[in-house]
Amino acid sequence: MENAILKLENVTKSFDDKMILNNLNLEIGKNEFVTLLGPSGCGKTTTLRIIGGFEMPDQGRVMFEGKDITRLSPDKRHINTVFQKYSLFSHMTVADNIAFGLKLKNKSKSYIDDKIKYALKLVELEGFENRKPTSLSGGQQQRIAIARAIVNEPEILLLDEPLGALDLKLRQDMQRELVKIKNEVGITFVYVTHDQEEALTMSDRIVVMNQGLIQQMGTPVDIYNEPQNAFVADFIGDSNIIDGVMPEDKLVIIQDKPFVCVDTGFGRNENVDVVIRPEDVVVRPKGEGILDGLVQSVLFKGVHYEIKVVVRDYEWMIHSTLPAIVGSEVGIYVEPANIQIMHKPVSSAQEVIKKDE
């Protein structure tokens, strides 16, 4: 990556003989919003702490603008962190909280006052200078924590699940707010979450992690539409993941029925994983699809119906704008371009991932 501001090179980390990060390599670009996404214990927070200097890797290097900062203390890095617990000083005013780091750097009063005004305007909390954090809502406290980090002019802002304590509506509002702040300030954001929707909404690029390994990196559209393995497909959104066989290019056998697809380059009669998103499955009258199945359940989800159709021993999940009748038989059809074919796991790491699905 030509504009990389940060590189993790062959980073390995263990705790109590348990491997947390396994030879991790990652490049993050200047002014990029990168989200580390994965289940609990996948290594994303450890990665963030190593970037911030709060943990040392057992092996590997952290490079910042071409310089090795692996052993540099957190206060010596041009990096600030916003944690899920905002760690605001309850006995200080909002202004004093924001100014705390600047005072440690012996900045002048006029400089600090200007920075406080700028930061409060940025997070849309002008006039809150003399309030105490305990009088603010969760969303307002989160904005103050971000303001406190931004006034220090970091090159990179690390955010460790900072929206986790907020309710759904406020969390969605703050997602939009964070993207706006990132664009206005023009710094690099590295964000940690296990919330797939949050990652898809906010990120320029998503890094999907599991078992200390990077499973896939890419734009939200790429990650969702072109998952590289069954774990990514299952973790990012809902998916039907079905065993299949590729007798030849552009043809896959699913539950003994041939489905035309667009994938090539697989071995003849290779066993594969077939990934089909629920919104890509079309419900047709019985006999007019490729497979026929029995409607098991229908739930109204607001923007669509969630329909479960059993074909033999597999339960298909379907998202449709039209309902179906429970107990009826229907046909299932999928457009060739909406069928994703993946190789079966071949490495021990992939086998572990598959077992954890």
The pLDDT assigned to 177 comes to 83
What tens digit of pLDDT does each residue of 5-30 get?
A: 999 999 999 998 899 999 999 999 99
* Helix (H), strand (E), coil (C) string for 7-60: EEEEEEEEECCEEEEEEEEEEEECCCEEEEECCCCCCHHHHHHHHHCCCCCCEE
Q: Would you say domain 239-355 falls under CATH 3.40.50.300?
A: no
Say if CB 172 and CB 182 are below 8 A apart: no
The pLDDT assigned to 355 comes to 42
- Under the banding of pLDDT at 50, 70 and 90, the label for residue 257 is very high
- Under the banding of pLDDT at 50, 70 and 90, the label for residue 346 is low
Q: Please tell me the pTM assigned to this model.
A: 0.83
What tens digit of pLDDT does each residue of 173-226 get?
A: 888 888 888 888 889 999 999 889 899 999 999 999 999 999 999 999 999 988
Residue percentage of the chain with pLDDT more than 70: 96
**Model confidence at 140: pLDDT above 70:** yes
The pLDDT assigned to 350 comes to 54
The pLDDT assigned to 300 comes to 97
Say if CB 81 and CB 160 are below 8 A apart: yes
**What is the average pLDDT across 146-160?**
88
Query: What CATH number has the domain spanning 4-225?
Result: 3.40.50.300
The pLDDT assigned to 280 comes to 96
Domain ranges of the chain: 4-225, 239-355
CA-wise closest residue to 181 among 152, 147, 207: 147
CA-wise closest residue to 46 among 82, 11, 9, 86: 11
Fold: same for 4-225 and 239-355: no
Highest averaged pLDDT of the listed ranges 102-116, 157-171, 173-187, 266-280: 266-280
Burial of 17 (C-beta count, 10 Å sphere; 0-12/13-18/19+): exposed
Rg (CA), the chain: 24
Beta-carbon neighbour count of residue 107 at 10 Å? 17
What tens digit of pLDDT does each residue of 309-335 get?
A: 999 999 999 999 999 999 999 999 999
**What is the average pLDDT across 59-83?**
92
Residue percentage of the chain with pLDDT more than 90: 63
The pLDDT assigned to 86 comes to 66
